[in-house]
């Protein structure tokens, strides 16, 4: 996801300085992947160009000049459209996992071996996330849950593919 | 613990039920204090393996050792004592005694082990706060949710401070949130007590609580063995 909508969301509450935007982004969305200052200002430049945010006020203190950014009506409408629209589903069903399984069969290798290695890697990642959930706050827990359930979907696919391998081998070998 | 460093050792275990060959030469070693998940498709033999490790089933061939001692050389009575005093069990459905209250159920294994009634109930009551089910001491199984009943079953298994806890699909009848709560409690209590856990599950999210997972397929452990074992 682009950071644009996350920043628009933060500005949707109230106007904010760039520094505060970064701090709020990291707190609400980015504990695992904090936003760099450069990315904050690059995103704000694009939002200014597209008239989705405006500079509400300038503050001259001891340090450099600070700009107070605010969301515009255009920005708020765009944000609301984004919030209410469903995300596009992944159109590609031909996953790398599937390609590896078929390629293994084409080369007379044992796809079971690859699937076992992949299963172990998935469960290892799940173990890391399960462990991280214990020390994180609720937001981190929900993000870890999201990742865990997606890994689980892959694992279900791996299990059912393992169960169907013999049939898949027969089909592929009959076409060679 | 045995010289091998393993608390449980399974070597070439075979077990058939009629024409069905549930185990076909299963090997598995478990270290003391380790939490291990046994995974595999339905009918792969994972529950049979757990039952053999716990001395509930005797393998037709091969051997199971606990702390270096072969279960096959023990009398039925010795194996029963082992299951009552050293092993703890949790199953998919808690299998609480329905006529008894929650505290009766938890105190029961201690009473069977000749602990005084006063001490048994004192120890049983300590579990309620820990499990987050305060004030449920007098509730019977039918008066508790699935998650609450499973926590009581967990306390009943752990109250004797077993060396090994065997758990067969311990969250299989629970929703995601209740499963998570039961697993967190299980892992935390096992770590505190130094209890080794052998966990059978088909659910990778539950397996992810374990230190290591092994895969059982067609009655054999196919992946996840300790490296030293796999290299042999």
Could you report the per-residue pLDDT of B96-123, keeping only the tens digit for each? 898 999 999 999 999 998 999 999 999 9
CA distances from A157 to A100, B55, B145, B225 (A): 13, 35, 32, 23
Predicted TM-score (pTM) of the model is: 0.79
Q: Which residues of chain B neighbour A119 with C-beta distances below 8 Å?
A: 215, 223
For all residues of chain A together, what is the average pLDDT? 88
- Burial tier of A107 (Cβ tally within 10 Å: 0-12, 13-18, 19+): exposed
Q: Do A130 and B207 touch (CB under 8 A)?
A: no
Q: How far is A164 from chain B (nearest CA, A)?
A: 12
**Site from A111, A117, A118, A126 to mutate, B interface, most B CB atoms within 10 angstroms:** A126
DSSP class of B71:
G
B44 token code pair: 């792969």
**CATH tag, A3-84:** 1.10.10.10
Kindly indicate the confidence band of residue B157, based on its pLDDT and cuts at 50, 70 and 90.
Answer: very high
Give the whole-angstrom CA distance, residue A127 versus residue A167: 32
Q: What is the pLDDT of residues B6-40, one digit of tens each?
A: 999 999 999 999 999 999 999 999 999 999 999 99
Please compute the mean of the pLDDT values over residues A7-33 and round it to a whole number: 89
H or E stretch covering B214: strand B212-217
Q: What was the pLDDT predicted at A2? A: 74
The 8-class DSSP code of residue B55 comes to T
Q: Do A129 and B213 touch (CB under 8 A)?
A: no
Residues B222, A116: C-beta atoms closer than 8 Å: yes
Q: Are B54 and B47 in contact (CB under 8 A)?
A: no
What are phi and psi for residue A102, nearest 5 degrees? Answer: -65, -40
A106-110, A159-163, B31-35, B45-49, range with the lowest pLDDT: A106-110
Cα B125 from Cα B106, distance rounded (Å)? 8
Q: Which of the pair, B229 or A69, is modelled with greater confidence? A: A69
What pLDDT, on the 0 to 100 scale, is given for residue B132? 85
pLDDT (mean) for A133-152: 89
CB count, 10 Å around CB of A173?
A: 11
Question: Smallest CA–CA separation between A99 and chain B, in Å?
Answer: 23
Taking CA–CA distances from B44, the nearest residue in chain A reads A163
- pLDDT score recorded for residue A174: 84
Can you give the pLDDT at residue A117?
86
- pLDDT of B43 > 50? The answer is yes
Q: Determine whether the interchain pair B208/A148 forms a contact, defined as Cβ–Cβ distance below 8 Å.
A: yes
Q: Which two tokens stand for residue A74?
A: 């255009």
| pLDDT (0 to 100) of residue B70 | 94
Q: What is the per-residue pLDDT for A91?
A: 63
| ipTM score assigned to the predicted complex | 0.75
Given pLDDT bands bounded at 50, 70 and 90, which one contains residue B227? low
Above 50 in pLDDT, residue A53? yes
């Amino acid at each position: 996801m682009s950071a644009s909508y996350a920043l628009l969301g933060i500005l949707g509450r109230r106007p904010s300085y760039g520094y505060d935007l970064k701090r709020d982004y990291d707190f609400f969305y980015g504990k695992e992947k904090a936003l760099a200052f450069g990315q904050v200002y690059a995103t704000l430049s694009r939002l200014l160009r597209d008239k989705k945010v405006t500079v509400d006020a300038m503050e001259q203190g001891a340090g450099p000049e600070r700009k107070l950014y605010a969301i515009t009506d255009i920005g708020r409408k765009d944000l609301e459209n984004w919030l209410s629209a469903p995300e596009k589903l992944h159109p590609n069903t031909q996953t790398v996992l599937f390609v590896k399984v078929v390629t293994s069969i084409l080369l007379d290798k044992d796809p079971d071996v690859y699937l076992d290695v992949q299963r172990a890697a998935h469960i290892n990642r799940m173990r890391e996330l399960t462990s991280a959930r214990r020390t994180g706050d609720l937001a981190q827990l929900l993000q870890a849950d999201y990742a865990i359930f997606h890994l689980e979907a892959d694992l279900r696919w791996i299990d059912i593919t393992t169960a169907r391998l013999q049939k898949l081998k027969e089909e592929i070998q009959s076409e060679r | 613990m045995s010289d091998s460093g393993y608390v449980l050792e399974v070597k070439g275990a075979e077990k058939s039920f009629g024409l069905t060959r549930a185990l076909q030469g299963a090997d598995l070693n478990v270290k003391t204090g380790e939490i291990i998940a046994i995974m595999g498709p339905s009918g792969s033999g994972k529950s049979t393996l757990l039952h053999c490790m716990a001395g509930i089933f005797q393998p037709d061939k091969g051997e199971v050792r606990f702390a270096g001692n072969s279960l096959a050389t023990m009398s039925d009575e010795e194996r029963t004592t082992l299951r009552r005093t050293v092993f703890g069990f949790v199953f998919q459905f808690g299998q609480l005694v329905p006529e008894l209250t929650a505290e009766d159920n938890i105190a029961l294994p201690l009473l069977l082990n000749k602990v005084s009634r006063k001490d048994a109930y004192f120890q049983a009551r300590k579990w309620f706060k820990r499990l987050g089910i305060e004030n449920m001491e007098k509730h019977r199984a039918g008066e508790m949710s699935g998650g609450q009943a499973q926590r009581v079953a967990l306390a009943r298994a752990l109250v004797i401070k077993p060396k090994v806890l065997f758990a067969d699909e311990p969250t299989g009848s629970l929703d995601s949130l209740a499963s998570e709560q039961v697993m967190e409690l299980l892992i935390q209590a096992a770590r505190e007590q130094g209890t080794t856990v052998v966990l059978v599950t088909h659910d990778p999210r539950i397996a992810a609580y374990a230190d290591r997972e092994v895969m059982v397929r067609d009655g054999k452990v196919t992946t996840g063995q300790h490296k030293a074992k796999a290299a042999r």
